[in-house]
Every structure is written in structure tokens, then in C-alpha cells.
Amino acid sequence: MKKLLTVALLTISCFLYSESINAQSFEKGQKNFSVGVGAGYGLGVNVGVDYAISDLISIGAIGAFSSRSYGYVLSNYRVTYLSVGGRAALHFGKYLKEIGINEDKLDPYVGAVGGFRTVKYNDTYSTYYSGAAAGIMLGGYVGARYYIKEKLAIYAEGGVPYSSLGISLKF
């Protein structure tokens, strides 16, 4: 986790010291790579890739991992989540100009996610107990990217089955 944070901070530093050019925040053919930390059952890590198939719609893939451990007097308990899936979003930033907001730096969106999630748990109370489960993951989210530089944004997403904050790189 510390190595991931170090790489993220170095990447941000490189982009912050590059030249700034204003551009439309979302357009057809645009690709974004995002890395973030998320709230869920423990602190998790999310990665995602999005591709703009039009000036309004993006499709992409996501992956998320989170794990949490508890220590009790006579036992330890650990639960781990792993999720992979696809996502689609409707980007409505170009309509912000109508209400007086500069859409060049802000990319708000709403979307849906679907995929597969696994859960694994271990408990060492008395006798060793463990198990796993897997199933379909469906949900929705709202979010926004704010471009600090032409190709670097910070983002926030909230929804089900995950919420996250992080950085997004446009390429």
C-alpha cells in the first residue's frame, strides 16, 4: 500500500509541474485510467479504465480489493473482498455551461456497474474456520473528475457496491 501511494504521489508531481492546457473534460475517444482508495469492508484499492464511445457515454472495466482483520482475545478474524467487472457512465459536463459552470475542468457522471465479487473469511476461534462465497455484483454510482492539469484529475465516486477517491489520468 505504501509503494502504491508513493507511485501515485510521484505521478501527480510529474503532472503538476507540466504545462497546463485547458481542454474539454470529456470527449469521444478519450481514455482514462483511475486509481483510488475506497470505503467498504476495510480500506480498499480500486483501479479502472474508461473509454468514451461518444461525447456522453463511457464504458470500462474495474477491479477492487479490500481486506480487514480483527484480533480478539482468543481468535483472529479476517475477511477479504475481490471484485472485477464492467461499468458504463453518462457524462453530463457539457451541460454545465448552461448554468454558468466551466465544464473544461469538471466531468460529472452517473453510471452502472456489473461484475463478479468474491468474499473469503478466516476465523481461528477454537478450531480453524474459513469459508468463501462468490456472486454477481450489480450497482450504481455518481461521481465527478476535476482536472488539475490537462491529463490529470482527482475524482470522487459514491454508490453501491463501492465508493472511492483517487486520481485519474487521461490518455
| Rounded Cα–Cα distance for residues 151 and 168 (Å) | 8
| Rounded Cα–Cα distance for residues 138 and 37 (Å) | 20
Q: Where are the domains positioned within the chain?
A: 2-18+25-170
For position 25, what pLDDT does the model report? 73
For 55-94, letters b (16+ CB in 10 Å) and e give ebbbebebebbbeeeeeeeeeeebbbbbbebebebebebe
- In order along its 171 residues, the chain shows pLDDT tens digits of 555 455 444 454 544 444 444 456 789 999 999 999 988 666 799 999 999 999 999 999 999 999 888 887 777 888 899 999 999 999 998 888 888 887 788 999 999 999 999 999 888 775 667 788 999 999 999 999 999 999 999 999 998 877 899 999 998
* Nearest residue to 64 via CA among 39, 88, 30: 39
| Rounded Cα–Cα distance for residues 76 and 128 (Å) | 10
Cβ atoms of residues 90 and 119 within 8 Å: no
> The pTM is what?
0.78
Q: State the CATH class of domain 2-18+25-170.
A: mainly beta
- The residues pairing with 36 across neighbouring beta strands, listed in sequence order, are 46, 166
| Rounded Cα–Cα distance for residues 138 and 119 (Å) | 15
